[in-house]
């Protein structure tokens, strides 16, 4: 048991340090100086990029694809929940089992989250056009994350599966900084850069179309 826990801890450290390395690279690369005269506020654009622009009413990728959007939200909430769960499982495993009700609730949410991931994976396999643009990384990243969430959900209820849970998470954590799962950090930088771009040009925050 301790070996598996150590394995997961090592994988976690590898993942974290790889992501920190990539983040450091992004920060060191820096921004090129923009010599154009701004007509809007970069700061307002960045704030909007993380708030209003994320509204499902603002994005076709959300409002034209509501089932996928909702599945995506549940999937990502599950992922974010699963990491503190993993940390607790490594460091203070007893805490999670203090309340049966709490453990069951977390397990249920992770199960729903894993089914959401499965839905997205199946969609990728079934839909011709998405399949056409998909590569190994797309299937590995989604499949591995989905399976990890499922294992997380089961392991919370079935202690005998905890070693397997640690192994699965170790594989996931090694893959995170290599595969597209690294968007975990790039997402935030992308929103930041997009906010700067549109904010400087006064395109964001989005203006209303009005007559007169």
- Chain contacts with another protein (rule: CB under 8 A): 22, 25-27, 29-32, 34-37, 39-40, 49, 53, 58-62, 64-65, 68-69, 72, 120, 124, 127-130, 132-138, 140-141, 178-180, 182-183, 186-187, 189-191, 193-194, 197-198, 201-203, 206-207, 209-212
Q: Which is nearer to another protein, 35 or 101 (CB)?
A: 35
Q: Which is nearer to another protein, 24 or 158 (CB)?
A: 24
Per the CB < 8 A criterion, the answer to whether 179 and 20 are in contact is no
Q: Which is nearer to another protein, 25 or 94 (CB)?
A: 25
Q: Minimum distance from CB of 153 to another protein (Å)?
A: 23
DSSP conformational letter for 177: T
Q: Minimum distance from CB of 170 to another protein (Å)?
A: 18
Q: Minimum distance from CB of 142 to another protein (Å)?
A: 9
């Amino acid at each position: 048991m301790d070996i598996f826990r150590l394995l997961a801890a090592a994988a976690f450290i590898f993942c974290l340090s790889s992501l920190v390395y990539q983040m450091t690279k992004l920060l060191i690369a820096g921004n090129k100086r923009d010599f154009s005269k701004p007509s809007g506020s970069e700061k307002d654009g960045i704030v909007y990029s993380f708030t209003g622009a994320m509204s499902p009413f603002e994005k076709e990728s959300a409002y034209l694809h509501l089932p996928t959007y909702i599945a995506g939200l549940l999937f990502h909430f599950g992922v974010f929940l699963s990491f503190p769960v993993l940390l607790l499982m490594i460091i203070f495993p007893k805490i999670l089992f203090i309340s049966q009700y709490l453990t069951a609730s977390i397990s249920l949410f992770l199960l729903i989250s894993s089914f959401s991931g499965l839905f997205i994976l199946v969609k990728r396999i079934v839909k011709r056009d998405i399949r056409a643009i998909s590569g190994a990384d797309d299937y590995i990243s989604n499949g591995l994350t989905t399976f990890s969430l499922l294992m997380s959900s089961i392991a919370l209820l079935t202690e005998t599966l905890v070693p397997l849970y640690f192994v699965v998470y170790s594989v996931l954590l090694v893959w995170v900084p290599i595969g597209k799962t690294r968007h975990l950090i790039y997402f935030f930088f992308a929103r930041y850069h997009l906010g700067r771009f549109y904010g400087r040009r006064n395109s964001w925050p989005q203006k209303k179309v009005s007559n007169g």
